[in-house]
Amino acid sequence: DAGVTQSPTHLIKTRGQQVTLRCSPKSGHDTVSWYQQALGQGPQFIFQYYEEEERQRGNFPDRFSGHQFPNYSSELNVNALLLGDSALYLCASRGTGRNTIYFGEGSWLTVV
Amino acid sequence: AQSVTQLGSHVSVSEGALVLLRCNYSSSVPPYLFWYVQYPNQGLQLLLKYTTGATLVKGINGFEAEFKKSETSFHLTKPSAHMSDAAEYFCAVSSGGGADGLTFGKGTHLIIQP
């Protein structure tokens, strides 16, 4: 049983560019959340998707957007990248009515 | 709004000694509480969680935590530290019956001295 999988694992982008990160939830899970973890900090909640809609959002600007597909996989898009967007982006999933959240290994984004 | 405070960004213990990592939370509704561990260059692994019921919860790798509502605390303990316990530990809180996004503390780096 595969856990939460994310791609790519590492990437480097230039300021002003756009990036798309991808996530496949754990088998049987239908709710996907994204977190940003800056170096030396705890993860911060970006948003959560369920039934292909954004259900909850943290304190992140509109440059951060997402999508969930019918197969429950998800994408995180960040536009107009800033140096401060450099971080580990974590995807997490859980099943309906479940409160145990499983995390992927993350995607390391470096903005130069 | 909810928040988590982890006291001590770094904690150092000797191998075989008691591990105590402190976590205090604030939440306007009954909280669901979690401890996660993160090894270098890896994602987060769930150690244990408190939802409802028994306030002393046991997790993986010999860790346990006790929910104390009166103290708004959820401290993590392990009777005897092992070198493999060296990692970053995060306490997190969720409301909405655990359906809401997690709010994390800033983490505590656990160092194990031989």
Helix (H, G, I), strand (E, B) or coil at A94: strand
Helix (H, G, I), strand (E, B) or coil at B58: strand
Distance CA A44, CA A47 (A): 9
* CB-CB under 8 Å, B103 with A56: no
Give yes or no for residue A64 having a pLDDT over 70: yes
Cβ neighbours, 10 Å, residue A90? 26
pLDDT at B109: 97
Token digits of residue A59 = 């304190």
Residues B69-97 pLDDT 10s: 999 999 999 999 999 999 999 999 988 76
Nearest-5° Cα angle at A8, B91 to A62: 65
First to last CA, chain A: 37
Give yes or no for residue A2 having a pLDDT over 80: no
**Span A89-109, average pLDDT:** 89
DSSP H or E stretch at residue B93: strand B87-94
The shortest C-alpha distance from A32 to chain B (Å) reads 10
- Return the residue in B44, B50, B89 with the most chain A beta carbons within 10 A, the one to mutate for interface testing: B44
Residue in A98, A99, A105 nearest the CB of B42: A105
Residues A24-55 pLDDT 10s: 999 989 999 999 999 989 999 999 999 999 99
pLDDT at B98: 65
* CB-CB under 8 Å, B46 with A56: no
**Span B40-67, average pLDDT:** 92
Chain A residues with beta carbon closer than 8 angstroms to that of B99: 99
A26 and A8 Cβ atoms separated by less than 8 Å:
no
